[in-house]
Chain A
Amino acid sequence: MSGAASPASVTVLRGDPYHLGHSRDGHGESRATGRGTGGPSPKRIIVAYGFWIFILSDIVMFASFFASYAVLQGGVSDGPTGPEIFDLSRIAIETALLLLSSFTCGMASLALSARRMLLFQTAMAVTFCLGAGFVALEAMEFYDLIQRNAGPSRSAFLSSFFTLVGCHGLHVSIGLLWLLTMMAQVLAKGFRSDIVRRTLCFALFWHALDIVWVGVFSVVYLMGSIT
């Protein structure tokens, strides 16, 4: 088990080009186009595509929460309305943190491609800090609301608000856990091709969460603040 694999060991072609499993050296890359010629696609395509499909299913789940929010946002009952509880300056900071973290996550992917360990670990650490800052701000927002008797059990509007925003926050928190796991894996095992694939999946996940956040701040906070 070598540490950082040299490019030479990665390009070795050998044996069965249609192998399964998460072979660590990336040998056996096939020439498939994914359109019927050449046989099964290479592992990196299969893994990333499978994860891409999973992300799309996750987006559909968010769509269900968005639909609930859209339908129930009028159900404020005797509780507060959106403009009364939304603090747009906090949301602006959260947005900035998440957008910057998407950028640093991109830097980490580039460092991964270039096999530069220090740059990779730094970019991932910065991403973690930005993401953790986002989660902390969101937790503070939720705490404040609950303190002001505007918790999720006050009205259907607040239920759907907490669930939609909280589901995104939960995803970011899981992403942070995953991020730490990938930093540890890359540190311990180097740029092994299966770990590189996983880290690219993590990057996909992180960027997708930023896209969902664009929907959240636009539909929930901005449109909800228009009186």
Chain B
Amino acid sequence: MLGKLTLSAIPLDQPVPLVAGAVVALIVLGVIAWVVIAGHLPYLWREWITSVDHKRIGAMYCILALVMLIRGFSDAILMRSQHAVAYKAGGYLPPEHYDQIFSAHGVIMIFFGAMPFMIGLMNFAVPLQLGVRDVAFPTLNSVSFWLTASGALLVNVSLVVGEFARTGWWPAPPLSEVTYSPGVGVDYYLWAIQISGVGTLLSGVNLVTTILKMRAPGMSYLRMPMFCWTALASNLLIIAAFPILTATLAMLILDRYLGFHFFTDSHGGNSMMFMNLFWAWGHPEVYILALPAYGVFSEVISTFSGKPLFAYRSMVMATMAIFILSFMVWLHHFFTMGPGGDVNGVFAITSMIIAVPTGVKIFDWLFTMYGGRVRLTTAMLWSLGFMVTFVVGGATGVLLAIPPADFVLHNSMFLVAHFHNVMVSAVLFGAFAGYTYWFPKAFGFRLDEWWGKAAFWFGITGFVIVFGCFYWLGLLGMTRRMQHYDVADWRPWILISAFGVVVMFVGLVCQVVQLVVSIRRRDSLRDVTGDPWDGRSLEWATASPPPVFNFAALPEVHGEEAYWAIKSRAREQMRLREEPAYEPIEMPLNSPTGFICAFFSTLIGFAMIWYIWWLAAAGFLGAFVTFVVFAWRDTVEYEIPASEVAKVNRANRSTRLEALHGAGQRRAA
């Protein structure tokens, strides 16, 4: 009846995961109880859970990502503290638990921290920057988000029911085959990633269609803001790469569940084929994460330098070059696995070539700042920190792209340092830059700058300490994924890196405090005009937070930097654009489809993990019925009357007019 699931699945004998799981469960239950008792449930259901508004969904993606980043960071703290005490000793984490922790750390950070953060920012900002009302398929967008959340839920359930994979963040066979990993850990990994992978793929389809087919009148491709270009490249990569991951994990599932022989190394199977396919997804994935972050930096640097982006077209070319090249380098993840010199050589060269367009980008950002009036806000600090540290990560990447060097350094802490260096400085710094930059647009008030800057300085200092030590440890010969060690030379560097994690933790605390302080002081941080940073693209042309329909009338675009042109004209003429003729606007109705689908997919995933076949069948049936019920709807949108549109838009126009005259008077004085 319940498959493999028994009471023994709850790890009563292991205090660390049990206590951690209990604390998390208590917090989650507490939040749910508070929501229900305080009567917020109807509001949450109406305005967030069933919302198909791209701004709400984008915000929910970012909230999920922030929570999961904290979860992943707590794994990092466990690993650093284990190393701090595991010198010639076992430490406090037994090997089978330590293995789960580094696996969970990688999975959570990549799939449920970095991915949702980037997708959330794209979801929020791209339709606004394109000057349209929503993404192409609003309900599908909600489905995507909830499927991602479903995957995240499954990974976290593994904390208290059963176990997580001990194979590392890519489940390398034959270790991940059922012979060597008979438990449910790898199954948790597989089903969580399959479910969230479907969500990611659908979100990629959605955003590509939005960017290619829905833009404000006059916005040709070469007038799109840089962030839209990088979002286009990133989502095209999602469409091209995620099906490979789905197929590869499906093969591993068939190996594990039905005794197939894709990767078993017996009966003609070949475990190296897994590596090949996995990294054919895995390397594009790096750019799926990094490209939107490059877009954020482009927006932030241009805005806070008060200048248009330098060499916009070369930046577009560089983005698209990275998009194509990223699909031609995947072998550099397994140089040492046995391909000959010719194959290694070709992939080494393509890997090094990627540094060229990336270098173009760095120079474009530098020249954007050159001669500009640079404002060192929090978002700008993250961007500067990125440029300094990312160059180091890129240089070590070029070093690792040389096969002979890779033969020495592969699987060492040097490699760990390299990919954390590029991932943290590009993706995480980019995420925080975007978070600080677009927060006032999403919620109507700015984040506190003092705490933001404190978070930046602690964060980057701790980051440099931790991964500087890792580079050195790698050169001293330390390999990755060691549960304990007894080399005296490593000891001081490991202790320093543990100190670095403490510094990063302080940065994290500052980040949380920043949010709390900003919410409490929101009245003094209020963004009344909708343009708090003197921005240049269309998202700043509407109110903060934007009305549900984004724009009362779609803006006409006549060149690059659409909003800057509108604003400059307004400043010259000391008056706003002509008021548009208001017309009623049709918007899609809210729908619980996404939430219900995710509910059923969580059931399917959980049932498959524990071999509860009837529950899985019921879940599939439920999901199909949900789709048909959704497809059977007759009323799918509602109309916002012209008077309502006029009221909302006039309110924003009056604050903008006030600001315009205020600025004019200051200039006159």
Instruction: State whether A156 touches B261 (Cβ < 8 A).
Output: yes
Interface residues of A, count at CB 8 A: 61
Contact A37 B137 (CB under 8 A): no
> Which residue of B201, B204, B637 has the most chain A CB atoms within 10 A of its CB atom?
B637
Residue A138, interface by CB 8 Å: no
Contacts of B234-253 to chain A: CB distance below 8 A: 239-244, 246-248, 250-251
Decide: A46 near B631, CB < 8 A? Known: A57-B243, A58-B243: no
Residue pair A60, B244 in contact (C-beta under 8 Å): yes
Which residues of chain B are within 8 angstroms of A15 by Cβ–Cβ distance?
A: 583-584, 586, 639
Does A22 sit within 8 A of B, measured CB to CB? yes
Cβ-defined contact, B137 with A74, below 8 A: no
- The reply to whether B205 and A57 form a contact with Cβ atoms under 8 Å apart is yes
Q: Which residues of A contact B584 (CB under 8 A)?
A: 15-16
Q: Does B2 contact A (CB under 8 A)?
A: no
Among A47-55, A95-103, A113-121, the one that faces the other chain is A47-55
Q: Which of B136, B260, B631, B637 contacts A50 (CB 8 A)?
A: B136
Scan B203-221; emit 1 where CB is below 8 A from any A CB, else 0. Answer: 0111011001111111111
A20 to B637, CA, bound (A): 8
What does the 1/0 interface line of B150-177 toward A look like (CB < 8 Å)? 0000000000000000000000000000
Nearest Cβ distance between residue B328 and chain A, in whole angstroms? 15
Question: Is A198's CB under 8 angstroms from B215's CB?
Answer: no
The residue of chain B having its C-beta at the shortest distance from the C-beta of A27 within the complex is B586
Q: Please, which residues of chain A bring their CB within 8 A of the CB of B243?
A: 57-58, 60-61, 64
Name the B residues within 8 Å of A54 (CB-CB).
Answer: 202, 205
Contact of B587 among A21, A67, A163 (CB under 8 A): A21
Assess whether A39 is in contact with B209, with CB atoms less than 8 Å apart.
no
Whether A77 pairs with B268 at a CB distance below 8 angstroms is yes
- CB atoms of A153 and B554 under 8 A apart: no
In the complex, A61 Cα to B248 Cα: how many Å? 9
CA distance A78 to B205 in the complex (A): 43
Measured between beta carbons, the chain A residues less than 8 angstroms from B206 are 50
By a CB distance below 8 angstroms, the chain B residues around A155 are 261, 267-268
B99 on the A face (CB < 8 A): no
B66 at the interface (CB under 8 A from A): no
Q: Which residues of A contact B1 (CB under 8 A)?
A: none
Chain B contacts for A32, CB-based, 8 A: 217
Whether the Cβ atoms of A36 and B221 lie closer than 8 Å is yes
Task: State how many angstroms separate the Cβ of A38 from the closest Cβ of chain B.
Answer: 6
Taking the nearest CB of chain B, how far is it from the CB of A132, in angstroms? 18
Expressed in whole angstroms, the Cα–Cα distance for A61 and B589 within the complex equals 33
Q: Which of B42-50, B269-277, B476-484 contacts A (4 or more CB under 8 A)?
A: B269-277
Q: Mark A8-45, 1 if CB is under 8 A from B, else 0.
A: 00000001101111111000100010111111110001
Q: Distance (Å) between the CB of A43 and the closest chain B CB? A: 9
Q: How many residues of B contact A (CB 8 A)?
A: 68
In the complex, which residue of chain A has the Cβ closest to the Cβ of B645? A16
Please state if B216 and A39 are interface contacts (CB–CB under 8 Å).
Answer: yes
User: Given A46-B136, A46-B209, A157-B268, does the pair A19, B585 have CB atoms closer than 8 Å?
Assistant: yes
Q: Does A72 contact B (CB under 8 A)?
A: yes
A194 is an interface residue with CB less than 8 A from chain B = yes
B259 near A: Cβ within 8 Å? yes
Chain B residues whose CB sits within 8 angstroms of the CB of A23 once the complex forms: 586, 636-637
CA distance A139 to B427 in the complex (A): 47
Q: Contacts A57-B239, A77-B267, A198-B631: A18 and B213 contacting too (C-beta < 8 A)?
A: no
Which residue of chain A is the closest to B130 with respect to CB atoms? A40
Distance of A56 Cα from B251 Cα, bound (Å): 20
Interface string of A134-159 (1 = CB under 8 A from B): 00000000000000000011111101
Whether A185 contacts B244 in the complex (CB less than 8 A), given A16-B583, A54-B205, comes out as: no
Do A49 and B267 have beta carbons less than 8 Å apart? no
| Known contacts A15-B584, A20-B587, A22-B636; is-contact A153 B259 (Cβ 8 Å) | yes
Query: Is A163 a contact partner of B216 (Cβ separation < 8 A)?
Result: no
Chain B residue numbers with a CB within 8 Å of A79 are: 267-268
From B640, which residue of chain A is reached at the shortest CB distance?
A16
A181 within 8 A of B: yes
- Minimum CB–CB distance from B563 to chain A (whole Å) comes to 17
User: Are the C-beta atoms of B213 and A40 separated by less than 8 Å?
Assistant: yes
Which residues of chain A are within 8 angstroms of B216 by Cβ–Cβ distance?
39-40
* Cβ-defined contact, A163 with B260, below 8 A: yes
A65 contacts the other chain (Cβ, under 8 Å)? Answer: yes
Rounded to whole angstroms, the CA-CA distance of A153 and B205 in the bound complex is 35
Partner of B244, one of A41, A45, A61: A61
With a CB–CB cut-off of 8 A, which chain B residues contact A28?
586
Give 16 A-B pairs besides A39-B554, A57-B204 with Cβ atoms closer than 8 angstroms: A16-B586, A19-B133, A20-B138, A36-B223, A39-B215, A39-B217, A45-B213, A56-B239, A57-B201, A57-B242, A60-B244, A64-B248, A77-B266, A153-B259, A156-B269, A163-B262
Q: What are 6 A-B contacts with C-beta separation under 8 Å?
A: A21-B637, A22-B588, A39-B132, A57-B204, A72-B273, A185-B631
